[in-house]
Amino acid sequence: MGVSVGGGHTSGRTGTRGFAVCAALFVCGCAIGTAASAALPPDAGIAGYVAGLAEGAGADFGERFFSALLRTGRYHAAALFFAFSALGVVCVPALTAWRGFLLCFAMSSITRCGGPAGFPAALAIFAPEALVAVPCLFLLSARSFASSLALLRAASRNSVKTAPAYGGLAAICGVCALALAASSLISASLAPAMLSRLAGR
């Protein structure tokens, strides 16, 4: 019985382990990002960051959509890239930690500096990412971690028996692409009104 990542109990255990590792580091990144935002004074560039987001409210719908898609999809693209490299064993969990840090730092900064409109604006911009894009990132990261770990084992044992199988990766990428498009569509639709309110507080 083989031990390839494409199937079997070994694949399931590795995928579950990868999901747990990525989720734990994402939570750590969220905690650090929230604490970092709270520790910085408003004049340390946070107010300027919030103002820059507010200025983007006037962009047309297509620009807002592709901006949101790029903001969220770059992490998924990076996770997919590392599925084909043994470096993903380290880089994929680190990527999820960095994603958690940036997401919570941005949300905390907007909530803190935006006044009464800060929290609704943060939700309008980042809730679709948190509810849709982040779970997709976990799914893709777990699969990429499993494939990367199989590559590392194959290299260390100089054997093709543990080489990863990428059979399910295309389906995961398709689901993630649709979910990211939906998330970006919602964000591009909701964000302008909240950002305009934030700019005029």
Over the range 167-196, which residues count as b (16 or more CB within 10 Å of their CB) and which as e?
eebeebbeebeebbbebbbbbbebbbebbe
Tokens linked to 79 = 């996770």
pLDDT at 123 over 90: no
| pLDDT score of 9 | 47
Better pLDDT: 196 or 100: 100
- The pLDDT-based confidence of 5 (bands split at 50, 70, 90) is very low
pLDDT at 87 over 50: yes
Q: What is the pTM for the complete model shown?
A: 0.80
Crossing angle of helices 169-199/61-82, nearest 10°? Answer: 140
Q: Which of 36-45, 154-163, 166-175 has the lowest mean pLDDT?
A: 154-163
State pLDDT tens for residues 104-117: 988 888 788 766 66
State pLDDT tens for residues 172-191: 899 999 999 998 888 888 76
Average pLDDT over residues 25-37: 93
